[in-house]
Amino acid sequence: MVGMPTIYDVARHAGVSPATVSRVLNGHEGVDAALTARVRESAATLGYRPNSLARNLRRSTTNLWAVIISDVNNPFFTAVVRGVEDAGQDLGYSVVLCNSDEQPDKEARYVTALLADQISGFIVSPTSRTANIRALVDAGRAVVAIDRRPRGLALDTVLVDNEHGAREATAHLIDQGYERIACITGPSRLSTASQRLRGFRAALRAAGRTPEPELERHADFRERGGYEAMADLAAARPDAVFVANNLMTVGALEFLSDKGIRVPDEVAVVGFDDVPWATFIRPPLSTVTQPTYELGRTAATLLKSRIDDPGRPPTVATLRTELHVRASSRRR
């Protein structure tokens, strides 16, 4: 025997047929106890490991999941991936990570490549082009969307309650007595961005105020966009700002710091998403945190049950956010 031992080697060693070895190793019922023991022992002494390539070819599937996220630089997504990975490993799956960089074309390329790889399940934070996701679904693959709701496609989806989170953050600012509260949200094509904006407006209305367009901005969910939006907003003289994701919050803070605008004395800030080391930024940053790791685990669970029961109607799981009030939004 030259390479890794095969099921034939084990069979010979145990004095049984390959079929029996296969049955034992796959836990099929109704194999004689004595044979089972012998097979187990032979497998152990030979150091047999099933060749997953052959198994997968035979079963025409793999134990691989692919996670296609839209920004690896965003700690939000990497935390989610960790949740997926841990849960996936428990269920016997390995996870391949792909970064679409929020570009539909890059996403499309991944989809095409991965389709050929018999990947058994996909977890995707969809870019705006739903066609990519549809291709996966049409090819009969199990797919779970995270973070965003894919437009016009019924899918297992894990979201957080963006509207609630934004509303709570804004209500807190109102509560602290801020008068001119601004909002920097993401691209309007992304459901997260519009939901967070909606929550912002809802809180204002609930307090008897009217949302003012001059205090609202759309940017790109990245640091630079947050910086520019904040610069642009400055003319409107807000005394507080709710920023709809972590990277843009960092950008907005950067602008304020560059201009020597004090937080929270001149402008209070609350950010959506956790910012790593939020407590280190001076002043410590108030945030609406999302249960990122949980989100990943939930997506993994949904994916597994979709694989086991492809006909099941789609589920949408919505997780709660949590407001953490810190110094950046507290009146002295």
Partner DNA sequence: CTGTTAGCGCCTTCAA
Partner DNA sequence: TTGAAGGCGCTAACAG
Of the candidate residues 56, 130, 305, 315, the single one contacting a copy of itself (CB under 8 A): 56
Q: Is 91 in the site for a copy of itself (CB under 8 A)?
A: no
Residue in 126, 135, 195, 123 with CA at minimum distance from that of residue 166: 195
Beta carbon of residue 80, minimum distance to a copy of itself (angstroms, whole number): 11
Of the candidate residues 151, 279, 318, 331, the single one contacting a copy of itself (CB under 8 A): 279
Residues 6+ positions from 44 with CB-CB distance below 8 Å:
none
End-to-end CA distance of the chain: 77
Q: Judge if the upstream peptide bond of residue 276 is cis by omega within 30 degrees of 0.
A: no
Stretch that binds DNA, among 18-26, 68-76, 139-147, 319-327 (CB under 7 A): 18-26
Residue position matching structure tokens 């109102």: 174
Nearer to a copy of itself, 89 or 188 (CB): 89
Q: Is 269 in the site for a copy of itself (CB under 8 A)?
A: no
Q: What's at 92, amino acid-wise?
A: G
CA-CA distance, 54 to 139, in Å (whole number)? 22
Q: Is 254 in the site for a copy of itself (CB under 8 A)?
A: yes
Stretch that binds a copy of itself, among 6-14, 22-30, 52-60, 158-166 (CB under 8 A): 52-60
Q: Is 316 in the site for a copy of itself (CB under 8 A)?
A: no
Nearer to a copy of itself, 44 or 113 (CB): 113
- The structure tokens listed for 281 are 């930024």
Binding residues for DNA restricted to 33-62, rule: CB under 7 A: 35, 48, 50-51, 53-55, 57-60
List 268's β-bridge partners, or say none.
Answer: 240
Q: Is 131 in the site for DNA (CB under 7 A)?
A: no
Residue position matching structure tokens 């297992």: 156
Cβ neighbours, 10 Å, residue 135: 15
CA-CA distance, 143 to 11, in Å (whole number)? 38
Binding residues for a copy of itself restricted to 109-128, rule: CB under 8 A: 112-118
List 158's β-bridge partners, or say none.
Answer: 146, 317
Q: Is 288 in the site for DNA (CB under 7 A)?
A: no
Of the candidate residues 6, 17, 51, 130, the single one contacting a copy of itself (CB under 8 A): 51
Beta carbon of residue 118, minimum distance to DNA (angstroms, whole number): 9
Beta carbon of residue 277, minimum distance to a copy of itself (angstroms, whole number): 6
Q: Are 326 and 278 in contact (CB under 8 A)?
A: yes
CA-CA distance, 74 to 150, in Å (whole number)? 20
Stretch that binds DNA, among 26-34, 185-193, 196-204, 268-276 (CB under 7 A): 26-34
Q: What's at 265, amino acid-wise?
A: D
CA-CA distance, 66 to 49, in Å (whole number)? 24
177 binds, among DNA, a copy of itself, none (CB under 5 to 8 A by kind): none
Residues at the interface with DNA (CB under 7 A): 3-4, 6-8, 15-23, 25-26, 30-32, 35, 48, 50-51, 53-55, 57-60
